[in-house]
Structure 1
Amino acid sequence: MKTKKILASVGVLTGAALALVACGNKSNTKDNSGSKEAEKFPAKTPVKAVKKGGSINVALETDTPFTGIFEDGLSTSAIDSSVSQFGDESLFAVTDSYTITNDGAATFKLDRKAKTVTITVKKGVKWSDGKQVVAKDLEYPYEVVANKDSGSQRYTGALANIEGIAEYHSGKAKTISGLEMPDGENGRTLVIHFKKVTPGMTQSGNGYFLEYADPYHYLKDVPFSKLQSSDKVRKNPIFFGPYKLSKLVRGQSATWTPNKYYWRGQPNLDKITISVVSPNSATQAIKSHKFDIAEVVNAQWKQVKNTKNVNFVARVPLSYSYLGFKVGKWDSKKGENVMDPNSKMGNKALRQAIGYAMNIDQVQEHYTQGLTFRVNTLIPKQFTKYYNSDLKGFPYNLKKANELLDKAGYKKKGTYRVQPNGKPLTIYLAAMSGRVNQEAIVQNYIQQWKKIGLNVKLTGGRLSEFNSFYDKVQNDAKGIDMFMAAWSLSSEPSPADLYSKEAPFNFERFVTAENTKLLNDIDSDKSFDNSFRVKTFKEWQKYMNDQAYVIPMTNSYEISAVNSKLTGYSTKPSDSNQLWYKVGFAK
């Protein structure tokens, strides 16, 4: 587990809570918070004395080959992050509430008055080729992200807060003036100068600065335009974490062996192999002990719960699945989202009705015993201070859905409704293939929408493969009116990188003055007063639920089946920075 995030401080999930099928027809207004059964699971394996040596097999559950882009500024998939987690260590350690500490590979200091963050790499932190991690390795990732030739999708409005980075991004400057290396490129300190500082900057995953390093000495000869396809990124990446990549079967498996230069010392295991396994095969793999660590498919929990010689470890991740509505386009020249006033999905009542017609609570209780559960806002419950518990989200309510459509002028003409202007209404939904029952999941919702007179069809007539799905959604492909996707979130709760005017990951492409104001306030100097920030967070959640450009759907307990002979495995944030250094076989 890492606090470093993908996709502008977030990552894409293949299947947060994708085990739905048609069922009950009752209205349900409860705010689910998950299974009582899951709550008894520990966050870590039993602590025991550990011995050196041994090999483990880790399951990577996906129905598609992994992309294999092993550079954080270029990666767009949480799956790739799972493959590289054994070597790709974050610069910073964190507390259980994700506050940055100085216990990791680098120290951190925020100077509010000077508007700077100073990052210093510790002496002895070395790449797996033996080279010390230096200041240039801290600075170079910003060049990768901000240089248009690299194709990175992580350049955001938050990063644009760094002095001089916008000029570099536009090609007006050859260097980023706000990145200072006071001891030179081969020193160990980077000072970042900001236009403004925000209260979230002490939290990991805040999006205003990067939390990883790149081996400049290794990558410097590769042009930015060829970096993503380079063997140095795709086949032979190097990291400063506890393990180094020793063998890669592209798209299928990766084998990791100890990094003899690792700054904390020698990790416990001799070898870690992570391999792709279909989610449909995960249950049998757990029961047959094919893997030492494997994620439980929640829909199949009953089938694995009594497996012997396994410790079940659980957490609720910072993530959610959602239904998004396309209401505009990304303008690459301006670097911003632009709304279409004539969008098919531009009517708030239509979007709300679609949300209320989804029978999420009943389906999840039936198929996952509550291990997957409905969420009521776009801020996870784990962010206790900022979470708006007063909101109900979109509980199943067909009567309300029909009333909204009737009032908004979507009249029935036979089986289906027509638009207020009298023209036929067909809504095209893009959704991923993935977890077991995924086909039935989507067909369930299509039938639910038919009950309120909406004609919904799958984009392309079928579910999309993971990589193809996100390619279409990110590039505003034709034939997508709404889409089901998921975010793995940053550990700093600011939603600006996902929903602002300048955020490429605002896939809905909605832009309103009120949304911009609320997001700016959340990250403003005024929000150093935490009571103001809390109030604004809650206002933003209420506003987003009212506007319904994004319908929050579900989150899931992530349950891992861990070989009972292993110790040191943990899902606690404070353990994440040392996780793979500590995992080993018990004596």
Structure 2
Amino acid sequence: MKRIGKASMATIALAASLTMLVAGCGTSGGSSSNGTGNSTGSSGNQAASNSAPGSTSGQPVDGGTLTIAQTTKFDDQFIPDMDASLYTANIVQYAFDPLLTVDKNLNFVGDLAKSWSWSADKKTLTITLANANWSDGKPITSADVLFTMNYLASKTYNTTLQGQYGYLVGPVVGSTRIGNGKATSFAQTGGFKQISSKQFQLTFKTVDAAVLWSDISGIQPIPEHVLKSIPMKSWTTASFDKMPTVVSGPYTFTQVNGQDSVQMKANPNYFQGKPHITNLIMKTVSPDVVPGLLANGSIQMVLTGLKPADASKLKAIPGITVYTPPENGFSYLGVKDYLPEFKNYKVRQALEYGLNRQAMVDGILKGLGTVISGPLPPVSWAAATTADGMNPYNYNPTKAGQLLDQAGWKMGSNGYRIDPSTGKEANLTLSYSSGDPTTQAEAVAIQADLKKIGIKVTLNSPMDFNTLAKDVETNSKSIQMWLMGWSLATDPDPRGLWQSTDAFNFERWKNKTNDQLIKATYSAAAFNKSYRKQALVKWQLNVNQRMPLIFLWAPDNIFAYSSKLNIPAKDWSTQGPLNIQDWWLSQ
């Protein structure tokens, strides 16, 4: 579920309407899921371009300051995987490289990992690191990778620090022993063998066709020589977490101003070459002022949070480029499946039928999205379609009413349904984040649509995004339904988000059939891509039928940036621009 690569425009995230919570490191696609509804977004896309921007002109020049805006505050935890939000990950990705990244076609390529090979039995992976150094000049070594893996698997990370990315090393031999405190290192368990300072082997518990792409590739090594002397339980309050002093990526931290901005400068020791742009500023701004800031040159790019209505406005501004490729992710209405109100999957199906999602895409998103009804978005190579048997759940309030009747939700005398678990009039509560008028419009539309099928919905007061995210993560009793989204990693591995015990299974959905179908997606047979796709299709059909959450749509990304910012054509993927070290500013 974690995005892989550098300089992508999103990652797995908890972001109210367009993307949601998650963490990751940067580049493009998704690892978890998003379904394929048969409907398509309507005519709003004429506001911006859906073909990748053309080549830059002229020779790159060095210097200048690039200011990138986000419209939601980040959390001030910058050790990779310490925080799970998109907005933090969008900053971390410029400072810490992963083992693998992707190219413009979303194929995996080496990053800190220069090469890799499998043993004949497909259970041992040998990885050779690139000749890369930390920003302080010390080499990035196998020992740093081991230190990072031990951190992700540790009991402290997964309990005391409430870390959510332990699954990245879960398939490695010994992860369970480290997680329960019976071992402290994969070097002791047989899961990690150092061959040299630049080469190591990983041994997995079982043959796993997806483990490199969906798990190991997303590991962002951290510097052992800096952090080994600090007790891990203290990392969240350590100065390094608030502003790392040693990094592996193209930019180093120079100043962190609360949750308002982060200042960075080019890393002269970056192994892929010192970036052309000298200074980088990541800034939190209100979505209402983004068009004006782009127009007057105060910012040169918007990373997240552009309102769909702004796409056509921005296109009309001279010197601004707008690009709207499909996002590898989805927005959803979350429900707690274990609660009596939602335990019957027919109720969840009724909610899916009862929402006029296409009307929301057309009206709220201005056509910049595609209605979906399952866990992989249409942009994914493994997305199931109606031809495979996916139910698109086209808007049908009559069908929704019939399903509610079957589930025992009878209509009361005042036009609202009776919750059979309480015998009283149902009154569902919906939570959503503040600061984004698009999200608020979605909440109001959902409330109105569900009223039409006899379900009363009370909207809670909008919450700060990070507060909402924490309440959802910790299963706060104050949350019953919520609006969020997932931005996914390139490989469509369902693990991390969809298994019964996964940290990001916020619905707390437990389904044995689902877990069994997921196992087939990474079995030995799944090394064959055709087999794996069919296994993923079968899994999606089960999710589509059981509807553990209410799928809304796969949004389009909205990228807007100044014509003074030059991004080589080779660095544009369908998800956004990669390789920030290649970008340059016209002087």
Shorter-chain TM-score: which interval?
Answer: 0.7 to 0.9
Alpha-carbon separation, structure 1, partners of 2:576 and 2:192:
29
Give the stretch that moved more between structures: 491-500 or 84-93: 84-93
2:185 to 164, 167, 175: 175
In the alignment, the residues of structure 1 paired with residue 62 and residue 444 of structure 2 have an alpha-carbon distance, to the nearest angstrom, of: 48
Return the alpha-carbon distance in structure 1 between the equivalents of residues 565 and 438 of structure 2.
32
Q: Deviations over 1:204-258 (max 9, x none)?
A: xx02564321111011111110112211111234211222111221211111112
Report deviation, 1:15: 3.2
Distance 2:291 2:392 in 1: 32
**Partner residue in 2 for 1:379:** 376
Supply the distance in 2 between the matched residues of 1:575 and 1:368 (Cα, whole angstroms). 18
Which of 303, 314, 330 is equivalent to 2:313? 303
Separation in structure 2 between the aligned mates of residue 577 and residue 301 of structure 1, nearest angstrom: 18
Aligned pairs for 1:109-508 (under 5 A) are 109-113=117-121, 115-123=123-131, 125-150=132-157, 151-156=161-166, 159-176=169-186, 177-183=189-195, 187-203=197-213, 206-208=214-216, 210-295=218-303, 296-328=306-338, 343-390=340-387, 391-413=390-412, 414-420=414-420, 422-458=423-459, 461-508=460-507
Quote the offset at 1:536 in angstroms: 2.1
Work out whether 1:55 is the aligned partner of 2:64: yes
Task: Summarize the alignment of residues 60-139 of structure 1 with structure 2, pairs less than 5 Å apart.
Answer: 60-63=69-72, 65-102=73-110, 106-113=114-121, 115-123=123-131, 125-139=132-146
Distance (Å, rounded) in 1 between the aligned partners of 2:372 and 2:204: 35
Give the deviation of 1:45 after TM superposition.
Answer: 5.0
The residue type equivalent to 2:547 in the other structure is A
Shift of 1:467: 0.8
Contact 1:98 1:492 in 2 (8 A): no
Structure-2 change in CA distance of 1:85 and 1:162 (3 Å): closer
Amino acid at match of 1:583: W
Specify whether residues 581 and 321 from structure 1 end up closer, same or farther in structure 2 by C-alpha distance, changes over 3 A only: same
Q: Deviations over 1:504-552 (max 9, x none)?
A: 1111111111111111111111222333322221122121121111121
Task: State the partner residue of 2:15.
Answer: 13
Query: For residue 540 of structure 2, what is the aligned residue in structure 1?
Result: 541
Q: Percent identity?
A: 22
- 1:17 to partner: Cα distance: 7.1
The runs of 5 or more residues in structure 1 that have no matched partner are 19-28, 329-341
TM-score (norm: length of structure 2)? 0.87
Partners of 2:263 and 2:64 lie apart in 1 by 10
Cα distance, 1:569–1:542 mapped onto 2, change above 3 Å: same
Distance change in 2, residues 1:366/1:443 (3 Å): closer
Partners of 1:220 and 1:347 in 2: how far apart?
A: 49
Q: Distance in 2 between matches of 1:158 and 1:92?
A: 13
After TM superposition, give the deviation of residue 105 of structure 1 in Å.
5.2
Q: CA offset at residue 97 of structure 1? A: 4.6
> RMSD in angstroms over aligned alpha carbons?
2.7
Provide the C-alpha distance between the structure 2 equivalents of 1:2 and 1:509, rounded to a whole number of angstroms: 23
**Structure 1 pair 30–263 and aligned structure 2 pair: CA distance change class (3 A):** closer
Closer/same/farther in 2, CA of residues 345 and 267 from structure 1, 3 Å limit = same
| Separation in structure 2 between the aligned mates of residue 305 and residue 39 of structure 1, nearest angstrom | 7
Alpha-carbon separation, structure 1, partners of 2:122 and 2:484: 40
One-letter identity of the residue aligned with 2:123: K
Distance 2:374 2:47 in 1: 21
Letter of the 2:192 partner, please give it.
E
In structure 2, runs of 5+ residues without a counterpart are: 21-36
101-110 or 370-379: which moved more? 101-110
2:309/2:365 contact within 8 Å kept? yes
Q: CA deviation at 1:87?
A: 2.3
SS across alignment from 1:287: helix
Q: CA deviation at 1:182?
A: 2.7
Q: What's the offset of the Cα at 1:298?
A: 1.3
C-alpha offsets along residues 298-318 of structure 1, whole Å, 9 cap, x if unaligned? 122222221101222332221
Deviation at 1:2, TM superposition (A): 6.2
